[in-house]
Amino acid sequence: MPRPVHLVACVSQKRSEPARARDLYQSDWFNKARAYVTAQGGRWFILSAHYGLVAPSRVIAPYDVTLGDMTAAERRAWGERVTAQLAEQIGPRTPVVILAGRLYRDPLSSWTGARGRVPMEGLGIGQQKAWLAAQVEAIRERTAMAAQLDLFEGLS
């Protein structure tokens, strides 16, 4: 099975000048989500209310658009655009991990279907940040342990 692709929601706090998407968003939640997905080592994208599906390395300008300000029809249109972008980027059997609230997930649900996983569903923002920080720490510990085992095996 292919490695999962992570989808991370945009946030309202942004730099004031254009930047790579991974650096444009400035909230503590986004920084923790970015640390989590980069620690996973797989591909990830940002779900932008303005740009749609965005590669982390793409330079984009700041904007003031949220899905919460859109009508249901506008959110459906956004979902159709992002679904088309996802279909171009991700294979049909690739698992998807979604780090986003319901407003971002619902318009994509027909595309993500059973392959979509929402590990923080039902958690408040504070709980999400704690979960993300704990996951990053666990990954770091596993990586450090693996490095120590490699070193130990090299000595024998």
Percent of the chain with pLDDT over 70: 92
Q: What does the DSSP 8-state code read for residue 115? A: G
Domains of the chain, residue spans: 5-155
Helices (H), 3-124: 21-24, 28-40, 72-89, 102-105, 109-112
Determine the average pLDDT of the residues in 7-17: 97
Strand 44-48 and strand 52-54: the pairing is antiparallel
Report the C-alpha gap between 51 and 49 in whole angstroms. Answer: 6
- pLDDT tens digits, residue range 60-87? 999 999 999 999 999 999 999 999 999 9
- pLDDT tens digits, residue range 99-126? 999 999 999 998 888 899 999 999 999 9
SS3 30: helix
Closest residue by Cα to residue 79 from 47, 101, 55, 56: 47
Closest residue by Cα to residue 98 from 136, 60, 47, 51: 47
pLDDT band at 149 (very low <50, low <70, confident <90, very high): low
Determine the average pLDDT of the residues in 41-68: 96
Report the C-alpha gap between 44 and 36 in whole angstroms. Answer: 11
**pLDDT computed for residue 114 by the predictor:** 86
Report the C-alpha gap between 14 and 20 in whole angstroms. Answer: 11
pLDDT band at 155 (very low <50, low <70, confident <90, very high): low
